[in-house]
Amino acid sequence: MNLVVMGAQWGDEGKGKLVDFLAEQARLVVRYSGGANAGHTIVKGDETYKVHLVPSGILYDDTTVVLGTGMVIDPSALFAELETLTEQGVNWKGRVLVSDRAHLVLPAYRELDRKMDEERAQPLGTTGRGIGIAYSLKAARDGVRIADLERPEVLEKLDDESRSFLEPYMEQLKPMVVDLVEFMAQADSKEHVLFEGAQGALLDLDQGTYPYVSSGYSAAAGASLGGGIGPRRIDRIIGVFKAYSTRVGNGPFPTEFGEGDSAELEHLVRELGREYGVTTGRARRCGYLDLVALKYIVHANGIDSLALTHLDVYDSQQEVRACIAYETPDGVLDSFPASATLLEQCRPVTKALPGWNTSLADAKSFEDLPAEATDYIRFVEEFVGAPVEIVSVGYRRDQTILRTDPWMQS
Ligand code: GDP
Ligand code: IMO
Ligand code: MG
């Protein structure tokens, strides 16, 4: 079975936790987009792992992970990350593969990324990892791919700095390189394969809040091109979302907490949800759950089911609010607008639901959840038109409630 796990907001929804949880049953985990701009956190026992390029299935000794075609890979970041995993006792050798069609990120891209963003009249607040530059060069047909590392006639056209940067990684990368299309074509169709997204669909180049997006395809469709399979081979799409919203960097965020009561809520959410960037350490902007945006993402991706994370962060609240429409200068809007400037002018119309005011940390099944929490979940399901299949009530593996097993669905 081929299962896609994608972010359904602006990233950091808890994909790393979910992928790690679901990968227990997967033989292969293929990351299909993004680069070292991503930061995925996995907590296993007392140990916390932070991965940026390496797929979040890496903690299982019998699972192979692949950095897919849709990724942009900085080899220095990759090998630094692998070294950290080694120090943390993860034996990754022979289990990490890299698509020969993936693009490389060279040091000059990082510098240019930072400089370009600084010089923008309205900076995007990029992670400075060279991501936008790598994808731009890819689209302009001037990029450098993993397959090129074997082609002296291509390498000799690069400048000295780029060549000497790549040199030390060539031998290490060689045994990891794979023709992903052939590899996937030969994979046993009875085995479980998980396609892991990075970022979130609201940061997707086409679906997101353009131009305040990243440059890859984090949407479900990216799993096909970026994961080496035809779109009809995707069996199920899970969208991960938090009980609230966060955003790192600039761009419209209609439900962002503001002054007064919601400033207090922002503080609480940021501290309990550990809402600080894994890659840059920046404090994440926080706000109410935006159901208008979530419904748009469910429709745009054909999401089969949702995984709701961070529900525990609202444990102490008397009421829990979610945005159900936007007020604009031209009246009420109940769909997600294409224009970032219009979205900037949107003010949330929120609905308050009763809070549960009790700890969810030890809930093991849907039936363990208080009625207020299940009512909230049912309200979300009805509004966006997709079932919440998984509920996460903490960062630990065992704080995950499966209502139905996605690997058993077709
Ligand atoms: P990703 O980029 O989608 O993988 O998410 P990040 O790792 O950047 O951010 C999610 C953060 O929330 C991490 O610190 C996780 O350990 C944590 N987390 C994940 N799920 C939950 C949850 O259900 N409750 C709480 N409180 N934290 C969670
Ligand atoms: P994960 O996979 C949250 C944001 C950046 C910036 C914008 C463009 O951990 O969910 P870029 O460097 O990609 O050109 O920056 O995208 N961004 C993320 N925000 N989570 C991520 O990844 C992100 N990856 C990029 O903050 O606003
Ligand atoms: Mg993250």
Catalytic residue among 20, 40, 74, 204: 40
Which atom of ligand 2 is the closest one to the Cα of 127? 12
Strand partners, 237: 4
Please check whether residue 114 is in contact with residue 37, taking contact to mean a CB–CB distance below 8 angstroms: no
Reported as type and span, the H/E element at residue 208 is none
Please work out whether the CB of residue 11 comes within 6 Å of at least one atom of ligand 2.
yes
**What backbone phi and psi angles, to 5 degrees, belong to 10?**
-100, 35
CB 5 within 8 A of CB 19: yes
In this structure, which residue's CA is closest to atom 26 in ligand 1? 394
Name the residue ranges covered by the structural domains of the chain: 2-104+172-238, 241-402
**Under DSSP, is residue 366 helix (H, G, I), strand (E, B) or coil?**
helix
Q: Give catalytic status of residue 142 as yes or no.
A: no
Residue nearest atom 21 in ligand 1 by C-alpha distance: 395
Per residue of the chain (410 residues), what is the pLDDT tens digit?
999 999 999 999 999 999 999 999 999 999 999 999 999 999 999 999 999 999 999 999 999 999 999 999 999 999 999 999 999 999 999 999 999 999 999 999 999 999 999 999 999 999 999 999 999 999 999 999 999 999 999 999 999 999 999 999 999 999 999 999 999 999 888 899 999 999 999 999 999 999 999 999 999 999 999 999 999 999 999 999 999 999 999 999 999 998 777 888 999 999 999 999 887 888 999 999 999 999 999 999 999 999 999 999 999 999 999 999 999 999 999 999 999 999 999 999 999 999 999 999 999 999 999 999 999 999 999 999 999 999 999 999 999 999 999 999 86
Which residue has the least CA distance to atom 25 on ligand 2? Answer: 37
Q: One of 12, 74, 100, 304 is an active-site residue; which one?
A: 12
Whether residue 273 contacts residue 305, with contact meaning beta carbons closer than 8 Å, is answered with no
Given a contact cutoff of 8 angstroms between Cβ atoms, the answer to whether 290 and 8 are in contact is no
C-alpha dist (Å) from residue 28 to 20, 23, 221, 397: 12, 8, 19, 19
pLDDT at 253: 97
Equal fold, 2-104+172-238 vs 241-402: no
Contacts of 291 (CB under 8 A, 6+ apart): 322, 323, 324, 380, 383, 384
| Distance (Å) from CA 378 to ligand 2 centroid | 30
Which ligand has the nearest atom to the CA of 285?
Answer: 2
Give me the pLDDT at residue 363, please.
97
Is 12 a catalytic site residue?
yes
Q: Name 370's Cβ contacts closer than 8 Å, sequence gap at least 6.
A: 356, 358, 360
Task: Specify the DSSP element, H or E, that contains 43.
Answer: strand 40-44
Residue nearest to atom 15 of ligand 2 (CA): 126
- Condensed to tens digits (0 to 9), the pLDDT of residues 214-238 reads 999 999 999 999 999 999 999 999 9
Q: Report the separation in Å between the CA atom of 390 and the middle of ligand 1, taken as the mean of its atom positions.
A: 14
Cβ neighbours of 312 (radius 10 Å): 21
Ligand closest to 218 (CA) is 2
For residue 12, the CA-to-ligand 1 centroid distance in Å is 7
Q: Which of 74, 139, 154, 61 is nearest to 108 (CA)?
A: 74
Q: Which residue, judged by its Cα, is nearest atom 27 of ligand 2?
A: 249
Q: Identify the pLDDT of residue 262.
A: 84
What is the distance in A from the centroid of ligand 2 to the CA of 135? 14
Q: How far is the CA of 278 from the centre of ligand 3 (A)?
A: 6
CATH number for the domain running over 2-104+172-238: 3.40.440.10
Domain at 241-402, CATH from 3.40.50.2000, 3.40.50.300, 3.90.170.10, 3.40.50.740: 3.90.170.10
